[in-house]
Structure 1
Amino acid sequence: MTHLLSTLPRRRFVGALVAILVVVIGVFADQLVKEWAIEALPDSPPIEILPTFSLDLVFNPGVAFGMGADLGPLVGVILIGILISLTFWLAVLVWRGNHLVDTLLLSVVLAGGVGNVIDRVSRAPDSAPLTGEVVDYLAVSWFAIFNLADIFAVGGVLAWIVVVMARSRRLSVDE
């Protein structure tokens, strides 16, 4: 216990640094690729990369698979509420000095969410805040069209669940 207390300030600093860097780099990468997609893919047919994978620019007014498009600004408000909650939870984890892997993965999720909310805010008409469309460009013909932020959000959540379950399983075996 004494060892944990002596390293707690260092763990907090490293956790905070990891969280901030991951979110900033993730959001920057997402926005950079979206700007590239807008410049390189407008008014062009999909660019086939593999037989079922292509680059195809789409502006999505909803969330996953276009769901919620008819909810207007409420979708943005809900997403912002989720991101605020996730930010608070992440701050608590960092403050407690929890596992760095949790901080890393949840920061990836936060980066994805922030990247898509930036689209909702920055691409909305002045008369309808939070109704902007999310830039999607990665098309899997048998699945969906999505973007890097979606990969961050979904991949980060799934990886975090796997890590938590593995840790839980390991703890229950140790007991």
Structure 2
Amino acid sequence: MPPLRAGVLTAIVTLVADQASKLWLLNGFDLARKGVVKVMPFFDLVLAWNIGISFGWLQNDSQAAQIALMAVKVIAVVALAIWMARSHTWLATVALGLVIGGAIGNGIDRLAYGAVVDFALFHIEIGGTTYNWYVFNLADVAIVVGVAVLLYDSVLGVPAAKAP
């Protein structure tokens, strides 16, 4: 499969998986009504509305802030799509597809709900104190994995062809 096709397919699959998980947890499973759902001793499902950016930074629910965040997201997706179209390695192109699909998925949330739907919470208890990780979603996972793969590809991937 050509790299660009693989990247576009990865973006589409990522977007569909992200949106399907959120729609099911919101409407089918009704996570809002159920509250915290213990899945494993270290993992819960819990509904969180993120009005900021990654890791809950820049929390601001004003309309101007939401429009600004959407504008930045659109510019980033366009820049990433151009990078993906110009990429020559399969690994980088697929990684860019993960980032693009995740960014669009979280962007759809922001348009539909005014906030990003987060639901996955890892935690650990040590000495009677519970330590929680950030609440996140599948789009966030795709973005983090995509960035990690891009870093791997840039440092340890196939070396670029030398100029003649």
TM over 0.5: yes
Q: Which segments of 5 or more consecutive residues in structure 2 lack a partner in the other structure?
A: 124-131
Structure number with larger C-alpha Rg = 1
Check if 1:88 corresponds to 2:88: no
Question: The residue matched to 2:52 in structure 1 has which SS?
Answer: coil
* Partner AA of 1:18 in structure 2: A
Residues 158-173 of structure 1: pairs in structure 2 closer than 5 A? 158-167=148-157
Deviation at 1:148, TM superposition (A): 0.1
Q: Partners in 2 of 1:79 and 1:17 — Cα distance?
A: 22
Q: How many residues align?
A: 146
Contact 1:68 1:75 in 2 (8 A): no
Deviation at 1:133, TM superposition (A): 0.8
- In structure 2, which of residues 43, 51, 64 is the aligned counterpart of residue 53 of structure 1? 43
Q: What is the CA RMSD across the aligned residues, in angstroms?
A: 1.7
Residues 1-175 of structure 1: pairs in structure 2 closer than 5 A? 14-39=2-27, 40=29, 41-70=31-60, 71-93=65-87, 98-123=88-113, 132-141=114-123, 142-167=132-157
Report the identity percentage.
27
Q: Which segments of 5 or more consecutive residues in structure 1 lack a partner in the other structure?
A: 1-12, 124-131
**Cα displacement string for residues 77-104 of structure 1 (whole angstroms, at most 9, x for unaligned residues):** 11111111111111121xxxx1111111
| Runs of 4+ deviating beyond 2 Å | none
Question: The residue matched to 2:157 in structure 1 has which SS?
Answer: helix
State the TM-score, normalizing by the size of structure 2.
0.82
Q: Partners in 2 of 1:146 and 1:55 — Cα distance?
A: 10
State the TM-score, normalizing by the size of structure 1.
0.77
